[in-house]
Amino acid sequence: MKTITIILLCQLAISFLMPSAAVSAIPVTSAIEAPGVSLNNKNISKILPVLENRVGDPILRRKTIDKLATLSDEKIRLISSLCEKIAQNSSAAGSDIAFSLVSILIILS
């Protein structure tokens, strides 16, 4: 029931904040940005498994991933840190709170 509630809340918030016409693609990077991008990709690779486990709707998951591409490095590091905690102990109440924070950070950014 918690997962369904979270998914519905995320779908509602994303539909208001990010209309389908405004969904962005992953930005193209240059060779100068390569070191920062690889660290950013490493952080995003920690986020993706949590999204796959927690977000059942593939359309919502795709929109969330597209939204991640628009976030600052600082926010991605914060979300990645929260996702590490979720991955370590996904059945604890703290992981539900951490996922709520991840959802809020993605939606309101």
- Domain positions in the chain are 2-18+37-108
Chain centroid, CA 96 distance in Å = 14
Decide which of 38 and 58 is more confident. 58
Give the model's pLDDT for residue 34: 44
Instruction: From 108, 8, 106, select the one nearest 50 (Cα to Cα).
Output: 106
Give the model's pLDDT for residue 28: 42
pLDDT at residue 36 above 70?
Answer: no
State which amino acid sits at residue 65.
I
Give the model's pLDDT for residue 3: 59
Decide which of 67 and 90 is more confident. 67
Measure Cα distances from 52 to 16, 41, 77 in Å. 22, 16, 18
Which of 36-45, 73-82, 90-99 reaches the highest mean pLDDT? 73-82
CA quadruple 52, 54, 55, 56: dihedral, nearest 10: 80
Is the dihedral angle over the CA atoms 41, 35, 82, 107 positive or is it negative? negative
